[in-house]
Structure formats: structure tokens, C-alpha cells
Amino acid sequence: MEGYIISKSNLYKDMLYVYSRKHGKIMMFPENCKDDRNISNILDHKFNEIYENRFISNVNNNMSLITIIVSNTCNMSCRYCYEENGTFGNEEKILSPEMAIKIVDFIVKKYDFIDTISFFGGEPLLAIDAIECICKAFKGKYEKKLINREPKYTIVTNGTILNSKVLQILKKYNIQVCVSVDGFKEIHNKYRVYRDNGVTYDDIYSNMVILNKYNLLKSIQCTYYKSYINNNISYIDIEKYYLKNFGLKKFIFNDIYVDFDYVENSIKNEKIDTLDKKQLEGNSLESRLRTFVNFGTIDMDLYTMLIRMIKMKDSKYVCGAALNEIAINLDGNIYPCRTFVSENYKGKYCMGNILMFDENKYNNICNDISRLNYRHDKCRYCNELNFCNRCLAISLLNAKHLNGKIKCETRNDEFNGEFYMILKDKINLTKLVERLITSN
Amino acid sequence: MSFQLQEIPLENCFAEPLGFCGFGCVGNSGPRPTD
């Protein structure tokens, strides 16, 4: 059947998995229907129905992610840092315990449900007292039955600060740690340095060993430079190294489109070189899918695409900024997401302050962001929607000429054409789906 | 023939990637993403 890949499920009795290239979706249907002579037309019809009803509005009073900026200072001075050492251009400080408690009070009063709190900076572990206050305050709210459960906690840290107090709090509140580490030692040390330019990799590696011992290390976030391509190092080389040494399976790669070896301070000079990660076989879709099926390691971009493929419904919105996620800074200012906190936006998208909360102001920004984030109705017929994503904050900053409107640059069938050919000849659909749904 | 396409259940999967806030978003002190 042209355009479809069908394979038998091992996990669900008498069921088949079916991938439709035209729709970019993977679903299940009963095995006994497969031999119907009209099955191709029936599947077309069924997948079209899903397309017609695919959009859901996920706007409610639940927050899937609240970022709390607990520190706007950092003990490192990465050469490429866009936050000006975490300060976002402001005075260096850490969140006070008093303000930490007020932030929790606000969150619990304002929202019906909070899934995850993410501690962010600067370097958030410089503010371990504030982090402890926040976790303790949520625990107190839970014990008083003001919330149904305590939120999950995550932290993205540079991994250089780990003492017995930090470790004790991370363990006590099960704060899941993502460490920013740029792949391998030599490249990492070139860009991620202390303020006195001292190298950091060995310190971070030792701390990762300790975090891993206590089952707190969940992923790494790696900036992927052109230097990696020049040195023939692919995503999967980095994944395999951290799988072997730490058992890690989740990887966040931030591609940086600048050749640091070529242009000093290139971001500030806005001299952008092209990063063609496809130059390396290990970065190809086929290699990434094969590595996932065989070893279980995956980058978050691909993971999210695959998850969306097996979801019947898609969000009407390109991202959740202001709708199901927000960020709160040290002064109690509320923003649509962590990226909007930057001074680059000159406060234009500040949704108010927790100390003098103005519901109208908050709702107005929500509405503005919703309008900018709303998918066009015709997008429901696009098979590339699963990975049609833009960072709204960055788009607004870069795209003054668009008058705030986000331009569609998606080419229909770009991903699914390649994905289909891989599933047809190279990778088994059942193995891929079942790796995905059992990955943890 | 009457049947419905079904969504493949995801209970065992990690629900939300750690630190995830959408594509193009960056984590702590990362490079400024280009669009």
C-alpha cells in the first residue's frame, strides 16, 4: 500500500501499527481489518477525519511549566552566553527567601494545577536557599491540602556547584538535574569557562558522577558547534559516550550556527555561518532513529516529533508561552516564558508583577501571545506540523520586518518523505513505536 | 468495514522531556538560539 507502513504490534494483541506518510501520523487499528479490499481508502478516510479534528485548544488554568529565575548571576563566563553571565543586563543578585515564598503563594493562588517547576538562572545552584524555600513552601501547601500534589522539580545547572547541602536538597525534593555540558572535554573547555577563564570540564564530570550515584542526573544539554562537525563528532557520538559513562538517554542539543573557530565574538557581530549538521552521517535522521531503536538514546527534538506523530490531537498553538507555561524573575515579574525575560524585549511582554498583580494586564499579554502563536487553520492539512515549531520569543526579536507575524517556511513532506523511506526499507515500525512508548 | 484508528497509549513513556519548553527554546545560559 503506497504511502502506508503497517506492522504488527507486540504489545497490543491483534493490533497493527500504521504510519501514514501523507498525514505524518502513527496510529493503531485491529488486525482483522487489514484484509478488507478497500483498506487503503478506509485508512485515507480515517486519517483525514483525524486531520479535520486535530486541533485542540489547551488553554486552561493549568500550568505545565513554571520557570523560576532564582539567580541572575553565574560563576562561569561562557564565551557565547547570551544572558550576559546570567544577569540579562541587570544587577547581579539571587532570589531572597522572602520573595521565594511570595512567588509560591502567588502560584498556588493563581493556578489550578502546576506540573513542573524549573529552577533557572544565571546559575540556579547559587541560590540553593531560595530553592529550598520554594520546595518547602510547596510541601506546606500540599500538607494543608491547598494543592493536589507537590510539583515536579527540574533544574538546569552548569554542574560546577555541588556540596553536601546542595546534594541533600536535590535528594530531598527529588529535583531532576540537567547539566549543561558541551560534549567532549576539549571543546567544552574552550567555551565554557569560569570567570577567571579556568577550565570547567573535570569539575563538572566529577559532579555528574556524584549526581548519577544518587539517580538525580537525568539529561545533559549540549551546545553543538560547527567545531564538532569539523572534528567529525555527531550527535550520536556524544549520546553514546554519555550513555556508556552515565547511562543517560535524553539529550538536548542546541545547534549553534556560528563557527567560533572562524569568527571571534561572532554572535555579537551577527556573523552567522552555516551549520550543516547533515554533513555527518551520525546526525542523519536514519542514524538517529537507528540509535534510538538499538540503544534508547535520543535527542529531544526528534523525541518530541515522534511523540507528536503518535498523538491524535495537536495544539492550536505553536508553543505554550503564556498559555501553559510562564516564567517569574527575581523581582516577581511574570513573563510568557524564560526567553522573554531578557532585557532585549524591553519589558514589552511583561505580564505584570506578583506583588501588584493586575489581572487585566496579564490577560492582555496572554491574548497578544495567543494571537501570535495561533496556527493558521489550513495548517491542519500539513503533514509537517509535528515539527513545525518556532521559538516565538526569538522570532519576535529577529523578525521586526514581519510586524510580529510568523512566516511559514515549512515544506510539505520534507520530513515525512525521508521518514517514510527509512521505515520502508531500513527501520522496523514496531521496534520504533515500542521503543518510544516504553522509553523512560 | 467499521473500525476506528486508535491512539497508541503512552503511559510508560516519560511524559515531558526534562526542561522542555518547545523547539528552539534554550536552557540555562546556553547560546542565543538563531531562528
What ipTM was reported for this prediction? 0.82
**Which residue of chain B has the CA closest to A84?**
B29
Q: What is the per-residue pLDDT across A388-398, written as a single tens digit (0 to 9) for each? A: 766 777 777 76
Q: What is the pLDDT of residue A315?
A: 82
Write out chain A residues lying below 8 Å of B7, CB-based: 27-28, 310-312
**Which residue of chain A has the CA closest to B6?**
A28
Closest CA to A419 of A4, A1, A96: A4
Kindly give, in sequence order, each residue whose CB lies less than 8 Å from that of residue A14, ignoring residues fewer than 6 positions away: A30, A31, A32
Q: Does A433 touch chain B (CB under 8 A)?
A: yes
Q: What is the pLDDT of residue A407?
A: 59
Residue numbers in chain A where pLDDT is lower than 50: 258-273, 401-404
Residues 129-188 of A with CB under 8 A from B: 154, 156-158, 176, 178, 180
Task: Compare B25 and A382 and report the one with higher pLDDT.
Answer: A382
Handedness of CA A240, A241, A244, A250 (dihedral sign): negative
Q: What is the pLDDT of residue A31?
A: 95
CA-to-CA distance for A389 and A373, rounded, in angstroms? Answer: 10
Q: What's the CA dihedral at A97, A101, A104, A108 to 10 degrees? A: 170
Q: What is the pLDDT of residue A263?
A: 36
pTM of the full structure: 0.89
Q: What is the pLDDT of residue A262?
A: 38
Q: What's the CA dihedral at A133, A136, A141, A142 to 10 degrees? A: 150
Query: At which residue does the C-alpha cell 504511502 appear?
Result: A3
Q: What is the pLDDT of residue A231?
A: 85
Q: Does A437 touch chain B (CB under 8 A)?
A: yes
Our CA-based measurement puts residue B26 at a distance from the nearest CA of chain A, in whole angstroms, of 7
CA-to-CA distance for A276 and A266, rounded, in angstroms? Answer: 17
Of A67, A223, A391, the CB nearest to B23: A391
Q: What is the pLDDT of residue A389?
A: 67
Q: What is the pLDDT of residue A352?
A: 97
CA-to-CA distance for A156 and A160, rounded, in angstroms? Answer: 12
Q: What is the pLDDT of residue A223?
A: 85
Q: Any idea what DSSP says for residue A185? A: H
